[in-house]
Amino acid sequence: MHPARPSRVRHAVMLALLAAAGGPAAAQSEGGLPQVAAAPYTVALADDVAEASHRFGVPEPWIWAVMQVESNGDARAVSSAGAMGLMQIMPGTWATLRGRYRLGTDPFDRRDNILAGTAYLREMHDRFGAPGFLAAYNAGPGRYAEYLSRGRPLPAETRRYLARLAPVVGRSLGRHPAAAPLRDRNSWTHAALFPARSDNQRADDGPTDKARHPAQPAPHGDRPSRPRESLFVALSGEPPR
């Protein structure tokens, strides 16, 4: 048996899907998603996105694009599955990320939600590379791993998600070497970030792009000081743009 071969084939299929999807969407703007550039919420969130990009080595266009598709800039968004905030983070994932990165108690806090979502994007990228990290972010790493190992089809929602984000990520890959995978591609196995789940239950292992409903306010609390340095190994001499 050659267990790696099906994964390579499925990875190639996904690349083909993204390439095909990138045509019409890419024509919208040479700079990415024009809606993001024009959205009023970008001014208020620009510093938070820049901080998250610098801390976790994720290109800013990726963060903006994921935020737009996930919540359209609605900091109080809650999906039908319970994903929260700008980056649509599941409660269990939020609980782990906030402890790991010393975030506050409010998952709807714009800065903390962006930091947590960007950290999650980086962990998915380090585990799966591109473009698989997008599918893992949306469907959950367990679900995407099943696609790679057993050929279980990705949900239609995730395929639509990939089609929307492919043009932005594709144009950024060549310009942002800092987003390349780390040398230790198995470092994610050293931390229990992703709980196990059954096939018929969506895990708290990823954000969601499903319908949103008004959020209930979360309790606010004093936050511990946040380190500005990245918790990942530096990948280039320059911070990501």
- Compute the distance between CA of residue 65 and CA of residue 179 in angstroms, rounded to an integer: 15
CA distances (Å), 34 to each of 26, 143, 207, in order? 10, 31, 23
User: Interior CA angle at 178 toward 141 and 118, to 5°?
Assistant: 45
Q: Which amino acid is at 184?
A: D
- Phi, psi of 97, rounded to the nearest 5 degrees: -65, -40
Query: How many CB atoms within 10 Å of residue 71?
Result: 25
Question: What 3-state class would DSSP assign to 213?
Answer: strand
Q: Is 123 a catalytic residue?
A: no
Give the 3-state DSSP-derived string for 131-200, with helices as H, strands as E and coil as C: CHHHHHHHHCHHHHHHHHHHCCCCCHHHHHHHHHHHHHHHHHHCCCHHHCCCCCCCHHHHCCCCCCCCCC
- Phi, psi of 220, rounded to the nearest 5 degrees: -95, 150
Of 30, 51, 60, 70, catalytic = 70
Which residue numbers are catalytic? 70
